[in-house]
Structure 1
Amino acid sequence: MKAGLLGGDAFRTPGVAAETAAEAVRSRLRILVYPHELAMGGSQINALELAGAVRDVGHDVFVFATKGVLLDKVQELNLPYIEAPQSRFAVDPATTRKLTATVRELGIDLVHPYEWTAILNTTFGPGLSTGTNVVMTVLSMDVPDFLPRHLPLIVGTPALADMEARRRGNIHVVEPPIDTIFNKPRGIAASRQELGVNEKTCVISIVGRLTTDLGKLGGVLAAINVVDRLLAHCDVTLVIAGDGEGYSQVRELAGRVNSSHGREVIRVLGNVLDPRAIYDAADIVLGMGSSALRGMAHAKPLIVQGRSGFWLTSSPETEEQFLRGGWFGAAGEGEAELEEALTSLVSNPSRRELLGAYGRALVEDRFSLGSAAERLLSIYHAQLSTPTRATALATSLARTGIETAKFRLVMKLLENTRAKHPAGGS
């Protein structure tokens, strides 16, 4: 079945749709996965790959989301797709209406929204009006306090789960999974030929959103500056794949560096739906979160990026830190730290090879897609088997409604302030 074409047995009859939660636990589940958008991003890719893996073990899985570049991946995974309305804020009436209608029409047993806007639309849509079971995931490193507390929450790291356990129960960890069959070394020479990159240069690759979120844009700009300096004593090329509000800024800085060297030493590719060649062509990968793990899956040495100038090489010595806190960091020494890490790896091919093999083995052992799907299904079954107390539901919804209204008011005030006093204005 092609994405966007829901026909045949994709819909249930009213009698089947009335199946109880207890029966659903024992049978084939019908699950609606709701990524907050289909723009390129780690959370969205994880949502789709897990949806495919859960479908592959015998369940009916549908995707509800606004259109975006990852619609191609939905089609590639052959997941039935329902287009969500474009919306600016949660809770969005048009979205909650269509989401609720979709849940009823498809006889959905459980909705799984990813990130806070999708979570709020689900909570005050089918979660409230039809009592549909909901499991929510936040893969960002910051979990908003206004999210409902009566629903199970999945996060991506043990450290974040410990932090959240101070203010809510029913916390689960599902580490970002990687499809290690799809993401694997294919041959550096072929990948470089595909990208038109010189075989002899040392390639540093970045794949990620060019946004200010979690300091991603600042890290990319820092990498361009560091590579500019490294070119004084070694032959390196930086390849950047990604899009976002910082794209023009990245292009501008890359253009200035390329002009100063008289050749293209910084390649800015924009959005690349299948970035495997970019990982595979690299000698070194820079990244965070799922992108970092995909770099390691391609057997590349990894320098992990975080916010506020954090850079640290992934190695057996730093493994415990990253396994507990995620492939991210909170503060560091900025460009100086990155330059030191890159210089060490650029000048040492044997260490690059050792760290690449280490990373591939770690991803295969710890982050397999199949294991993550099994863990996710156990969380679904637990939620379907556990009734929510009416008092807990009412308290949670009231609190989320009030706190969300406060959040929206603050965001509106900030928007009005920026409009009156734009950056660079008097």
Structure 2
Amino acid sequence: MRVLVYPHDLSIGGSQLNAIQLAAAVRDRGHAVVVYGQPGPLVGEVAAAGLELIPSPDVHVRPTPGVVRDLARVLTERRIDIAHGYEWPPSLEALLACRVAHTGRAVSTVLSMSVAPFLPRYLPLGVGTEQIREAEREHGRPAVELLEPPVDVAANAPGAVPVAAFAREHGIEPGIFTVSIVSRLAREMKLEGILTAMDAVELLHREAPIQLVIAGGGPAETEVRAHAAAVNGIAGERIVVCTGELTDPRPVYALADVGIGMGGSALRSMAFGVPLIVQGERGFWRTLSAATVEDFLWQGWYGVGPGSGGAAERLAACLRELRDDRGVREVLGRFARRTVESRFSVSRVAERQIAFYERAIAAPPRTSWRESLDAGFGLFAYHAQRALASRTGPAPSEDFNSRPVAAERGAAAGARER
């Protein structure tokens, strides 16, 4: 097969890294693969993977007509069989380009916490959790499959990366109980938990030495750094370290005694054989164990809690249990590593992705003018709502991550119980 992979962009993010990793894995299995998209910080990752990058024109309102025309040209010149868009803007542009070029099949992967309702239902779709797959099937989408985030279990493994020089560079104290967070610093989904984690570490610092290392950049970086400075001021020493955005955050995972995370970052933390506390919203904190893993395999590495009240104390209790019992940490760390190896390795996910491509090619072409019109009206409404929202405040920067399926279903379940 000749495959074009089109990430959302080439800035640092979980969906983009997944797209590059899987593109290389599919190439390694004998297929011709190119990457298309806006150049950004991950250009080096594309080059390091030995993949060709075809730069796209500048994007504007999505889908961008200039991008669609250029992408159609590439599909024709390269005789592409599969145009694979990651997240909704590249997915729509890939679908439109296939129609303009009269060649190739468009497929989509959405690793956000919900799927844009204006993606046409006839577009073959891969999603990251069982719960989202079920929700999309309930909404009438016939071709939706589970394509969970992959992890390179060789590059992300205990002992895979040195940490001493990195720790010295960032002033991370050796021998102190260390908690790590690797995350995009976004206001939606992420910020609440990151601020709470700092407060929890400040509580635990009163009992014994502890430090929290936060790696990442994004629109909420100013708030994160300000809160870190305030917590460090209360503690009287530097117990929160903010590294900023890192092209390679593996040392942060590797030096941790406990990882905190959600989504793909949670999986990469698990690959390093350290215990994981899953971060969610509304005060959700839960330690990964044999008793909780099935919930996460269903709903994803995320959850919705009872509210922000007492959230720092709840997280502090989870961390205290792990801090005080090395044996528990070792057991849970080994369990985390086994879980990633058995289900989320790049090789396993790549085989599922190739099968996804093959099914898309083999299936009869399917279009529906009604679904296309519904998608067009839905897209127009989406842009109109964002334009209206921007007049009263900033629109959500994380798009459909701000409306997780797990949160909606959790709220619906709570309402039924009441």
TM (normalized to structure 1)?
0.88
Q: Tell me which of 143, 147, 157 is aligned to 1:184.
A: 157
Residues 160-202 of structure 1: per-residue CA shift (max 9 Å, x gap): 11111011111100111111011001179x5144312222200
1:32 aligns with 2:9: no
CA distance in 2, matches of 1:82, 1:227: 45
Alignment of 1:255-274 (within 5 A): 255-274=229-248
Helix, strand or coil at the partner of 1:417: coil
8 Å contact 2:69–2:100 — kept in the other structure?
no
Once the two structures are superposed, the pairs formed by residues 344-355 of structure 1 within 5 Å of their partners are 344-355=321-332
Equivalent residue runs for 1:192-271 within 5 Å: 192-196=164-168, 197-213=172-188, 215-271=189-245
The amino acid across from 2:350 in the alignment is: A
> Within 5 Å, which residues of 2 pair with 1:413-424?
413-418=388-393
Aligned counterpart for 1:407 among listed residues 374, 382, 397:
382
Aligned to 1:326: 300
Question: 1:43: which partner in 2?
Answer: 15
Over aligned residues, Cα RMSD in angstroms?
1.6
Residues 284-295 of structure 1 mapped to structure 2, 5 A cutoff: 284-295=258-269
* 1:110 aligns with one of 82, 105, 121: 82
Which of 135, 138, 154 is the matching residue for 1:166? Answer: 138
Q: Residue 41 of structure 2 aligns with which residue?
A: 69
Q: Which range moved further: 100-109 or 257-266?
A: 257-266
Deviations 1:261-314 (A, max 9, x none): 333211101111111111110000000011101111000100001122211000
- Between the aligned partners of 1:328 and 1:233, the Cα distance in structure 2 is 29
Structure 1 residue 337 and structure 2 residue 332: aligned? Answer: no
Cα displacement (A) at 1:256: 1.8
String of CA shifts for 1:354-408, please: whole Å, max 9, x gaps. Answer: 100111111111111111111111111111111224xx33232222111111111
Cα shift at 1:337: 2.1
Deviations 1:37-74 (A, max 9, x none): 11211111111100000000001111111122111111
- C-alpha distance in 1 between matches for 2:328 and 2:219: 36
1:366 is aligned to 343
**Residue 86 (structure 1) shift:** 3.0
**One-letter code aligned to 1:406:** A
Q: 2:124 aligns with which of 147, 152, 161?
A: 152
Q: Which runs of 5+ in 2 are unaligned?
A: 395-418
The separation in 2 between residues aligned to 1:221 and 1:157, in whole angstroms, is 26
User: Unpaired segments of 5 or more residues in structure 1?
Assistant: 1-28, 420-426
Alpha-carbon shift at residue 259 of structure 1 (Å): 2.7
Which one of 359, 374, 399 corresponds to residue 382 of structure 1? Answer: 359
1:336 CA displacement: 2.7
- Output the CA distance in 2 between the equivalents of 1:254 and 1:35: 32
Paired residue for 1:394? 369
Q: In 2, are the aligned partners of 1:127 and 1:133 still within 8 Å (CA)? A: no
Cα distance in 2 between the residues matched to 1:194 and 1:110: 40
Give the Cα separation in 2 of the matches to 1:235 and 1:207.
21
Q: Give 2:415's aligned residue.
A: none
Q: Structure 2 CA distance, aligned partners of 1:132 and 1:187?
A: 39
Letter in 2 for 1:236: I
Q: Letter of the aligned partner of 2:330 in structure 1?
A: E
CA distance in structure 2 between the partners assigned to 1:192 and 1:211 by the alignment: 29
Q: What CA deviation, in whole Å up to 9, does each residue of 1:63-92 have, x standing for no partner?
A: 111122111111110110011233242111
Asked if the contact 1:227–1:238 (Cα under 8 Å) also holds between the matched residues in 2, the reply is yes
Distance in 1 between the 2:164 and 2:192 partners? 27
Distance in structure 1 (CA, Å) of the matches to 2:370 and 2:2: 28
Native 8 Å contact 1:205 1:238 kept in 2: yes
| Mean CA deviation greater in 81-90 or 373-382 | 81-90
Structure 1 stretches of 4+ with a deviation exceeding 3 A read none
Please give the per-residue CA displacement for 1:1-58, whole angstroms capped at 9, x wherever unaligned: xxxxxxxxxxxxxxxxxxxxxxxxxxxx110101111121111111110000000000
Contact 1:191–1:281 under 8 Å retained in 2 = yes
1 CA distance for matches of 2:275 and 2:28? 32
Map Cα deviations across residues 236-262 of structure 1 (whole Å, 9 max, x no partner). 110010010000111111112223333
Q: For the residues of structure 2 that align with 1:38 and 1:123, how far apart are their CA atoms? A: 20
Give identity over the alignment, percent: 37
Q: Relative to structure 1, is the Cα distance of residues 61 and 176 closer, same or farther in structure 2, using a 3 angstrom cutoff?
A: same
Displacement of 1:129: 4.4
Equivalent-residue separation in structure 2 for 1:185 and 1:44 (angstroms): 24
Alignment of 1:290-301 (within 5 A): 290-301=264-275
Largest Rg, 1 or 2: 1
| Residue identity matched to 1:258 | N
State the 1:126 CA deviation.
2.7
- SS of match in other structure, 2:387: helix
Note if contact 1:89-1:117 (Cα within 8 Å) is conserved in structure 2: no
8 A Cα contact 1:192 1:198, kept in partner = no
Q: Deviations over 1:117-165 (max 9, x none)?
A: 1112222233454242011011111111111111111011111111110
* Distance in 2 between residues matched to 1:358 and 1:158, nearest whole Å: 21
For residue 96 of structure 2, the aligned residue among 95, 99, 124 is: 124
Native 8 Å contact 1:127 1:134 kept in 2: no
Match for residue 279 of structure 1 among 253, 259, 273:
253
- The whole-number CA distance in structure 2 between the counterparts of 1:331 and 1:47 is 30
Larger mean CA deviation between 265-274 and 98-107 belongs to: 98-107
How many Å separate the matches in 1 of 2:58 and 2:180?
Answer: 33
